[in-house]
Structures are given as structure tokens and as C-alpha cells.
Amino acid sequence: MKKSVRDILQFKSEDIHYYIVLLSAPVLITLYRYLSMSENYRNYFPSLNADAEGIVISYKLQFVGFFVLMFILPLLHIAFWWKKPLEAFGFGLGDKRYGFRFLLLSFIFLVLPFAIGGSYDPSVNAEYPMAKPILDHHNFIVFYHLFYVAFYYIAWEFYFRGYILFGLKDRYGAMEAILLQTISSCLIHIDKPFAEILLSIPVAIFLGYIALRTKSFWYVFLVHASLGVITDLLIIYYQQ
């Protein structure tokens, strides 16, 4: 019996939104890595290479580009096509009691140990802060990190622990959704320090569980962003 392409692929039109979520990972990560890195913006706007401020601006543009790709585009899909409530993707505060307890324990046992340990790792020092001029120009630190948190980390957690995780769990199961967001978030760490890539795997699984347990990505966002910013500050002020 002759089978159509649709039959062979077992394509289900009612699953189109899940296919979009799955396909978004390789597409958006590729666009980010090849079109929206700081060096891309310095190529688009050569004047940014002129001084330290221009280089820092190129990183701010990188964070904004990441926000457009990983936050705005998925949000448009949810709001105007999928038409599901944002709370279904972890936008609410969920289980606040569990979430705030997690924040307190994570800050003590996860954020501080990892930030302090990472600040002594030569490979981490070579990678962070990403905008190297702020090592010598401390007047850029505040606004650089505001962009870092508001555009990069919020988009990161919404995309991986919101859009992918909550978007796929009902169709494929919680464990499968956790592993899918782990695979995707690990891949975006390519070219990062080896220890960071390895740790990103168990940490992504753990944070995925916490996001599902609290029904919110905001708690893991606060942990992730705190780790990144504190690591930067320790390197800037204590490891130079």
C-alpha cells in the first residue's frame, strides 16, 4: 500500500505547535551564534571597535539580540498563534513557599560555592566577564549587568525553562521535556569552559525540575542570574 509523506512522518496537524517549539531550538540557537554575537555587531557597525565603550555596547546589543530571538519570538508564537495563557509557560510565581525556600538554600549551597570556585578557575576567568573592557573600566559595570540580567538571563530562562520545558511537557512528558531543554541549553554552551559545559547538564536537569515543581521559571532565573553576576564581580574585583 502506497504511503504518503505525511503517513511516513506520522505528521499530526494538531501537534504543529509542539513541532515549532522543537524546531525553534536549532533555528534560534544557530541565528544567535552566527548573527547576534558581539563580534557580529562590531562587524555590522565598525565604529564600535574604536574604544572600550563601543565594545561594551556590542555586548549589550548581543544581549538584546538574544532577547529578541529567545523571548520576543516565542512570546509572539504563544500569544498570537498558540493562544495559550502565559501562566502555562511558567510566567506566574507558582508555589511561592517552595520557591523562596529554594532561593535561600540555592544561594547558600549553589550560587556562592559555584561563583567562588569558578572565580578561581583560569578558564572561567578567561571567559568572564564576557565584555573584557569592564575589567579596567568599572564605570560600565552597572549598566552592562543590567542588560545582562534584563535581556540575556530573563530570555534564557523563559526560553529553556519556560517555552521549551512547559511547552513540551504535556505532549511528551515531564522527564522528556526536562531532557529536551537540557540538550538545547547544553548546546548553547559550546565554546564555553569545559567544566561549565559539563556542569550545565546536571544543573539544567535540576533547574528544570525546580521550574516544574514551582510552576515558574522566575526562581531558577534568579539563581542563574545571581550566579553569573556574582561570578563576574568576584573576577573583576578580586581575581585581577
- The DSSP symbol for 90 reads T
Q: What is the pLDDT of residue 2?
A: 66
| Predicted TM-score of the model (pTM) | 0.95
Rounded to whole angstroms, how far apart are CA atoms 105 and 226? Answer: 13
Alpha carbon distances (Å) from 78 to 35, 111, 130, 159: 24, 32, 31, 12
Alpha carbon distances (Å) from 2 to 8, 9, 10, 11, 187: 10, 14, 14, 16, 39
Domain boundaries, the chain: 14-238
C-alpha grid cell, residue 35 = 548573527
Greatest alpha-carbon span in the chain: 71
Per-residue pLDDT of the chain (240 residues; tens, 9 = 90+): 567 888 777 888 999 999 999 999 999 999 999 999 999 999 999 999 999 999 999 999 999 999 999 999 999 999 999 999 999 999 999 999 999 999 999 999 999 999 999 999 999 999 999 999 999 999 999 999 999 999 999 999 999 999 999 999 999 999 999 999 999 999 998 889 999 999 999 999 999 999 999 999 999 999 999 999 999 999 999 876
- Closest residue by Cα to residue 211 from 172, 178, 170, 185: 178
Q: DSSP string of 135-191?
A: GT-GGGHHHHHHHIIIIIIHHHHHIIIIIIHHHHHHHH-HHHHHHHHHHHHHHTTTT
Q: What is the CA radius of gyration of the chain?
A: 19
Q: What is the pLDDT of residue 107?
A: 96
